[in-house]
Structure 1
Amino acid sequence: MSKSQKFQLYDDPAQMEPLLPAEHRMGPLLERSHDLIRKADRLSGWCPSGALPGLRSSLRAMNSYYSNKIEGQHTLPLEIEQALRNDYAQDADKARRQRMALAHMATESQLEALWPAWGGAQVWSVQTVCDIHQDLFARLPEADRQLESPSGPQTLQPGALREREVSVGRHAAPAAAALPAFLARWSSVYSGLRRGELQLVAMAAAHQRLAWIHPFADGNGRVARLHSHLVLGHMGLTNGLWSPLRGFARTHEVYYANLAAADEPRAGDLDGRGNLTESGLIRWIDYVLGVCIDQVDFMSGLLSLGGMKDRMAACLAYEENVVKQGVRAEALRALHYLFASQAELDRADFKAMLGLGERLATAQVSALLKRGLLESDSPHGKLRWGVPQHALRFYFPSLWPEAEAQG
C-alpha cells in the first residue's frame, strides 16, 4: 500500500457487522431461499447423486472456465479440454491459465468427495477455508504463484494467511495481524445457524464477508466461490448439476458491483445498526439467490426427458450427415435410455437396443465411444452416457456458449 493512500485498517471483528441482515428485513430473502430449495430439491430428486457423471464432468470444466473468466484470466474451453489431455499451450501465460483451470476442477472434485462426511462445523471452519486455498494453489508450480507487490515480488503460499496489508479498490482489508479474529468471528456466526432457508442467506452473506476479509495474498475470490459451492453442495442442493459460477460470470459486472457496494460503510440511521451497509448486504444476498434460482431453472429445463430426446436426435443427425465418423441415428433409443435411466448398461444389452446386427452394433459402440457420446471405464466395461464438449450445443444449448462455438 503506497504512502499516498490513506486507508483505515480494520482491527476489530465488530467492524465487519452486520454479518446478516436484521430479522425484520429477512422476510423477502427467506422467501427467495425457500423457492431455491424447492426448485433445487425437485431437480436433485430427478437426478440423484452419482448419476450422469459425464454431465457432471463437463459442468466442472465449465465452472473452472467461468471462475477464470470472473478473474479476468480467460481460458478457452478448447484449451481446458487440451489441458485435460496434458496438451498445454506453448504460450507461458496460456499454459498458466490452463493449469489454474485444472486446479479448480480438481479442488471442486475433492470438495465434492469430502463434503458428504462433513458436519456443519467443518464446512464453516476457518481451517476449511484455508484448506480450500491450500488444495487449489498447491496444485500449481511455484512459478505460477508469483505475485507482484509494492515491496517487490513474492510467492503465494498455499493455505497461508497474508502477512501484508492490502487494499482492493476503495476497500482497505482488515489488518493482517487481526485476520485470525475476523475469520473466527466469520466462522462462529455462520456455523451457528440452522439448516434451511437461513443457511442459504448465510451462504450468500458469507461469500461477501469472506471476500471483504481478504484473508490471502491472492485467490480470495476463487476461495469464496468454491466455499459457496461447498455450502450449496453440503446442503444437498446442487448435486453436481448446477453452480452459481455460471451466473456470476455471465453477470460479472453486476457481481463485482454488488460485492463492492456491500463493502461500503453504513449510510445513516436507516441503514442497519452495524459498521457496514445493511442495504448493500441485502442487495448482494438477493443477487446471489436470484443467480442460483436462475441456474436451477435453466438446468431443469434442459434436463427434461422429451426435450433431451429431440436434441439427441439432432446431435446424431449431425454426426451421421456432417461429421461422418461412424455414428448412426439408430443410437438414439439406447442413448436416450442411458440418459433417462441414469444407469450403466452391459455392452451386450446396449447393442441389443440398437437394433443392428452384431458387427454393425459393435462398430457403432466403438464410434460412439470415440466421439465421447458413450463412456466406459475399461475396454469391455459397462457403458454410460457421455457429454463431450462438441455435443454441448445440441444437448445443452446456451449452457456454455463459448464451448458450443468451438464444437
Structure 2
Amino acid sequence: MKSSAIAQYTLPHQFEPLLPQSGLDALRERSRAVIEQSLRLTAAAHPDTIASLRELVREMNSYYSNRIEGQSTHPRNIGRALRRDFSDKPDVARLQRIALAHIEAERALEAGLGSGPVPLSGSFIQQAHAELYGRLAEPDRLTSDGEVIQPGQWRTHLVAVGRHEPPPPAALPAFLGRFDQVYGRMPRLEDQLIVAAAAHQRMAWIHPFVDGNGRACRLQTHAALWPLSRGLWSVSRGLARRRDEYYENLDAADAPRQGDLDGRGNLSDKALRRWCEWFIGICEDQVGFMTRMFDLDGMKTRIQALITFRAAHDKRIRPEAALPLYHLFLAGPTSRGEFQQMTGLGERTARNLLSHLIETGLVTSTGHVAPVRIAFPLDALQFLLPELYPEAATRED
C-alpha cells in the first residue's frame, strides 16, 4: 500500500530517511573510486598551477550555478565584472553583479572552512545565503514577485515548490536541527559523497529561504566536497549540463514511502538512493573529465597546438614558447630569466616574446621582476582545456 503525502510537514521525522538505508555497499564502491581519483588529481600539477585553475573553476561555478537559475551572463562578462568593468545595459550589469557576488561568496566560504560552522549544517547554509545576497544591493535581490530577499533570513511564510510544500516557517528550526544531527558529523571518507548528495536533496526539500535556495545549496555542497575537490572540479558544471535531470531527480526524491519494502521513513528510501546514485554519477563525470584534462602528455600536446595556432596568426608569438609554458604548468613559478633561456632565443627576442605572452594573458606575474606563472585565459581554453567551459568560446549576445 502506498503512503499518502502529508498535508503539512511539521515534525522532523516526516522527512526521514536522511541517508539511504539500502544499497550502501554499491554506493560506497562508486564513491571510493571517485574519491581516490579526486585525491590523485590534486597531485597532478604544481600548487600554483592548481591555484590558477581553481580561480577559473570558481568563475565557472558562478556561471553554471546562475545558469541553472536561468540568470547567467556570458563568461566574458563575468571576466569583465572581476575587473569592475560593468555593462551599460542594466540587465547585463545586474547579472554581472550576481555572478561577482557568487564568486566572492564562494571564496569567503572556503576561507572560513575549519574555523566556522561545518558545511553540512543549518548555520553554514545561512552563512552561505548571507555571503551571497549580502553582497548585492536591494534592487539586485528581488524575487520574481518583487519581494526583497533578506540575506541569511529564514523564510517567514508558506511556499510551494512545484508539487512540494516545504515545512511552515515555525517548523524550520526543528527540521534544521535534525539536519544538523545527521549531517553535521564528519562522515567516514568513503561516505562523504553519499552524505553530501543526501544533504543537498534534503536541504532543498526544507527550502529554508524565500528565494536563493538552489544557489545556497550548491555553495553548501561545494564547501562540503572541498576536502575532496580542492576546487578543481565542479558539481555545478555537471548539474547545469543536465539541468532538467537535476530538477527531475530532486523532485523524485521527495516521493513518499512506497510500501513496506521501501525503508522505514516517511519518504521513499528507494527514491533517495536513486538521487544519490545520480549525484555520484555527476561527480564521476566531473572528476574523470578533469583527470583527462590533467594528463601530462595531453597537456603538452594542447600547449603546442595553442602556440602553433597563435604563431600562425600573430607574428609576436613564436613556437619556442611551447616548452617554457609546459614547464610552468609542471613546475610552477619560474624566473623571467629562466623562462627566456628555455626558449633558446636571443635575449631581446625572448624578452619580447615573454612580454607578449603576459600581454595576451597566457602568462601572468605580480610585478616586473616577479616570477612568471601559467594562466588560463578564456580565449585559450578551447585548446588548453577543451570542453571544460565551452560557453567561453561562444559569441556574446
SS of structure 1 residue aligned to 2:187:
coil
Decide which of 371, 376, 395 is 1:382's aligned counterpart. 371
SS of structure 2 residue aligned to 1:66:
helix
CA deviations over 1:244-286 (Å, ceiling 9, x no partner): 1111011111111000001121122222211111111111111
- Unmatched 5+ residue regions in structure 2? none
Q: Is 1:331 the equivalent of 2:321?
A: yes
Taking the aligned partners of 2:300 and 2:45, their CA distance within structure 1 comes to 16
Give 1:364's aligned residue.
Answer: 353
Decide which of 112, 115, 125 is 2:121's aligned counterpart. 125
Root-mean-square deviation (CA), in Å? 1.8
Q: Is 1:221 the equivalent of 2:214?
A: yes
1:198–1:77 CA distance, 2 compared to 1 (3 A): same
Instruction: Check whether the contact 1:325–1:367 (CA below 8 A) recurs between aligned residues.
Output: no
Q: Larger deviation: 202-211 or 346-355?
A: 346-355
Q: Is 1:175 the equivalent of 2:168?
A: yes
Instruction: Please tell me the residue identity of whatever aligns with 2:185.
Output: G
Instruction: Please tell me the residue identity of whatever aligns with 2:59.
Output: A
Taking the aligned partners of 2:364 and 2:312, their CA distance within structure 1 comes to 22
Q: Work out the number of aligned pairs and report it.
A: 392
Decide which of 263, 273, 280 is 2:271's aligned counterpart. 280
Q: 1:406 Cα shift?
A: 4.5
Give 2:192's aligned residue.
Answer: 199
Q: Is 1:65 the equivalent of 2:58?
A: no
Instruction: Please tell me the residue identity of whatever aligns with 2:338.
Output: D
CA deviations over 1:342-378 (Å, ceiling 9, x no partner): x101111111111111211111111001111001112
- Unmatched 5+ residue regions in structure 1? 1-5
Q: 1:184 Cα shift?
A: 1.1
Taking the aligned partners of 1:93 and 1:278, their CA distance within structure 2 comes to 43
Q: How does 1:253-272 map to 2 (within 5 A)?
A: 253-272=244-263
Instruction: Check whether the contact 1:21–1:281 (CA below 8 A) recurs between aligned residues.
Output: yes
SS of structure 1 residue aligned to 2:153:
coil
Give 1:3's aligned residue.
Answer: none
CA deviations over 1:48-97 (Å, ceiling 9, x no partner): 65543222211111111111111111311122122222222232222211
Task: Tell me the TM-score normalized by structure 2.
Answer: 0.94
Q: Larger deviation: 192-201 or 93-102?
A: 192-201
Higher relative CO (Cα under 8 Å, sequence separation at least 6) belongs to 2
Taking the aligned partners of 1:15 and 1:68, their CA distance within structure 2 comes to 31
Give 2:236's aligned residue.
Answer: 245
1:48–1:113 CA distance, 2 compared to 1 (3 A): farther
SS of structure 2 residue aligned to 1:381:
coil
Instruction: Please tell me the residue identity of whatever aligns with 1:54.
Output: S
| Identical columns (%) | 45
Q: Is 1:10 the equivalent of 2:6?
A: no
Instruction: Please tell me the residue identity of whatever aligns with 1:333.
Output: L
Instruction: Please tell me the residue identity of whatever aligns with 1:123.
Output: P
Instruction: Check whether the contact 2:72–2:99 (CA below 8 A) recurs between aligned residues.
Output: no
SS of structure 2 residue aligned to 1:163:
coil
Taking the aligned partners of 1:291 and 1:254, their CA distance within structure 2 comes to 11
SS of structure 2 residue aligned to 1:172:
coil
Task: Tell me the TM-score normalized by structure 1.
Answer: 0.92
Give 2:134's aligned residue.
Answer: 138
Taking the aligned partners of 1:302 and 1:325, their CA distance within structure 2 comes to 28
Instruction: Please tell me the residue identity of whatever aligns with 1:306.
Output: D
SS of structure 2 residue aligned to 1:398:
coil
Q: 1:111 Cα shift?
A: 2.3
Taking the aligned partners of 1:107 and 1:186, their CA distance within structure 2 comes to 23
SS of structure 2 residue aligned to 1:154:
coil
Taking the aligned partners of 1:194 and 1:59, their CA distance within structure 2 comes to 26
SS of structure 2 residue aligned to 1:52:
helix
CA deviations over 1:31-64 (Å, ceiling 9, x no partner): 1111111111111232465543222211111111
1:48–1:118 CA distance, 2 compared to 1 (3 A): farther
SS of structure 2 residue aligned to 1:375:
strand
Q: 1:140 Cα shift?
A: 0.9
Q: Is 1:355 the equivalent of 2:311?
A: no
